[in-house]
Structure 1
Amino acid sequence: MPLHPQQRINRFEKNFSAYRLIIVVIISCVLMYQDYQKNYLSALRVYLSASLYPAQYLINLPKNFIQKLNTNFSEREKLLQENKFLKKDNFELRSKIQQVYKLESENKRLYDLLDSQPEKDNSYIFADIIAVSPITEKHQIIINKGSRDDVVVGSAVVDSNGILGHIIRDQIFGSEVLLISDREHAIPVEIVRTSLRSIAVGTGNYNELRINTLPTNTDVKKGDILITSGLGGRYPEGFPVGTVKNVTNNLGESFLEIRVTPFGDLKTINEMWVIQPRKAN
């Protein structure tokens, strides 16, 4: 029985679709082989990847931002902690190095009374400045350590360079410090080179102290180093105070006019040590 024309057309179309599929597969295989051999499509893949990069970037942007933010916060906290510990360790080491001045002074003379006095050790309390006196004429600061932290009135205060002053008033949670540059302050000092002792007084200038109690025939020179003499018991012996800036012998005067530059930067104080004397057992 003859086939209906419509049926012949349908079979033809099905066969035609199968032929197309086979042709497409063959062409694809040839193209893949040629690309494998000579990388014809590598440039095309590069361009396609480049066109997809913005989409990939935007998709991963929130995740990368959160990861980066967490990393920055953790690294910042770690750096702050390390910086705090390193600063404290460096500060303590530099403070201990100041004892070199004391050793230099002791090597210049026989210390006959060494065995006749009990040794005294010092403990140190680390403190930060929290306020400066609003009165220009008063060179005073407030620190964040007080009697709650075992700080006592009269304790000396130093930084990594030298003596700064001493505690004059307790505020329980803080303390007031009178700086050595204040006009009402006086500190017993010793000239390292000659072992001569005197008193250095404040001038109201953060960068200068004055000595006017040494006779005109005293052996003192520009550049001489001054340390605490320990007399009076307020300031421990051997801590750096400053260097002689100039020596003036005024005509008709009985005493020299000596200007001293403090070792400590009294104008821009940040961290410091409160020296707590502790008697040896």
Structure 2
Amino acid sequence: MAINPGQRINRYEKNYSSYRLIFVIIVSSILMYQDTQDGYSKTLRTYLSVFAYPITYVANLPKNTFQGLSLRLSERASIINENKKLKEENILLKSQLQEVYKLDAENKRLYELLGSYPDRQRNFLFADIIATSPSPDKRQITINKGSIDGVNIGDAIADPYGIIGHVIRDQVFSSEILLIADLEHAIPIEITSTGERAIAYGTGDMNRLEIRSLPPNSKAKKGNAVITSGLGGRYPEGFPVGEISRVERIEGENLLAIELSPFANLEVINEIWVIQTEVSGDE
């Protein structure tokens, strides 16, 4: 194919010169030599990186922001789940610690009688309080667990410190709880140090129960721990109820006037559980 004369390259014209190639080679050689001696290119890259950093930062900002947000959300969810798990473990450990009161009471009994009790397995259902009774004369609360969760009328309710009441009405998604401080409430109890059994009645005062059935010769005294006796079957045996705060012997009376302070703070109840008791043996 013939070359158009207009397309032929004239090596002597200004648009093509071997001097340019020679100049580039010389400059490159000088730069490479200087770089090996003084690290010129490293210094140059350092200065260029200063100007390039804002561009790189802005370019990666959306990606880094998204990753940081995702990480924070993931960490928050993880912390919430871990906190919830730790709370449940803490409550469970405290419930197991309450068995110390039961063991202390059982050590004072005849061990051969223990075989006559059926073997019971207790389950703990954690719940939150969603409402309190608006009536000043009622000491009741409502929890967010109901019959759909296996809650039944009569189930005992406790917090990390002791018994607080029992279920009086089981709805589908919630249940109403009668607190031990209510005027209509009575709970069978046992004084751990003496083994004496009685009934503790609510007074309407969140910080005070009354024991009205112990004779004047009772050995009960201030500071004695009181637990559930298990009589009647409503409250499981051995759970802490409170501590005797006052013992008064009234002259001419046949019974002592005894006041009991609940272990649980009934005015500020946060974490509670429903005690579900299952009998594994034949009663």
- TM class by smaller structure: 0.7 to 0.9
Deviations along 1:150-173, one digit per CA (max 9) or x if unpaired, are: 322111111232111001112222
In the other structure, the counterpart of 1:133 is 133
In the other structure, the counterpart of 2:248 is 249
| Counterpart residue type for residue 38 of structure 1 | D
Mapped contact 2:250–2:256 kept (Cα < 8 A): no
Deviations along 1:56-83, one digit per CA (max 9) or x if unpaired, are: 1111111122222223333333333333
Aligned partners of 2:159 and 2:32: how far apart in 1?
Answer: 77
In the other structure, the counterpart of 1:51 is 51
Aligned partners of 2:264 and 2:83: how far apart in 1?
Answer: 22
Q: Once structures 1 and 2 are overlaid, which stretch shifts more, 79-88 or 222-231?
A: 79-88
Mapped contact 1:248–1:256 kept (Cα < 8 A): yes
Aligned partners of 1:159 and 1:232: how far apart in 2?
Answer: 21
Residue 30 of structure 1 deviates from its aligned partner by 2.3
In the other structure, the counterpart of 1:7 is none
Aligned partners of 2:266 and 2:202: how far apart in 1?
Answer: 12
Residue 49 of structure 1 deviates from its aligned partner by 1.0
Provide closer, same or farther for how the CA distance between residues 202 and 50 of structure 1 changes in structure 2, counting only shifts above 3 A: farther
Q: Which blocks of at least 5 consecutive residues in structure 2 are unaligned?
A: 1-10
Mapped contact 1:247–1:256 kept (Cα < 8 A): no
Aligned partners of 1:95 and 1:196: how far apart in 2?
Answer: 24
In the other structure, the counterpart of 2:155 is 155
Q: Which SS does the other structure have where 2:181 is aligned?
A: coil
> What CA RMSD, in Å, does the superposition of the two structures yield over aligned residues?
2.8
In the other structure, the counterpart of 2:100 is 100
Mapped contact 2:221–2:247 kept (Cα < 8 A): no
In the other structure, the counterpart of 2:31 is 31
Aligned partners of 2:176 and 2:57: how far apart in 1?
Answer: 58
Q: How does 1:38-187 map to 2 (within 5 A)?
A: 38-40=38-40, 42-187=42-187
TM-score, normalised with respect to structure 2: 0.82
Q: Which SS does the other structure have where 1:109 is aligned?
A: coil
Deviations along 1:233-279, one digit per CA (max 9) or x if unpaired, are: 211111111123x3243663634443333222323323322223333
Aligned partners of 2:261 and 2:175: how far apart in 1?
Answer: 26
Mapped contact 2:189–2:200 kept (Cα < 8 A): yes
TM-score, normalised with respect to structure 1: 0.82
Q: Which SS does the other structure have where 2:204 is aligned?
A: coil
Provide closer, same or farther for how the CA distance between residues 46 and 18 of structure 1 changes in structure 2, counting only shifts above 3 A: same
Q: Which SS does the other structure have where 1:115 is aligned?
A: helix
Residue 146 of structure 1 deviates from its aligned partner by 1.9
Residue 11 of structure 1 deviates from its aligned partner by 4.5
In the other structure, the counterpart of 1:202 is 202
Mapped contact 1:132–1:140 kept (Cα < 8 A): yes
Aligned partners of 2:231 and 2:81: how far apart in 1?
Answer: 40
In the other structure, the counterpart of 2:211 is 211
Mapped contact 2:193–2:224 kept (Cα < 8 A): yes
Q: Once structures 1 and 2 are overlaid, which stretch shifts more, 181-190 or 268-277?
A: 268-277
Mapped contact 1:181–1:202 kept (Cα < 8 A): yes
Provide closer, same or farther for how the CA distance between residues 99 and 168 of structure 1 changes in structure 2, counting only shifts above 3 A: same
Aligned partners of 2:78 and 2:100: how far apart in 1?
Answer: 34
Aligned partners of 1:29 and 1:138: how far apart in 2?
Answer: 97
Mapped contact 1:157–1:163 kept (Cα < 8 A): yes
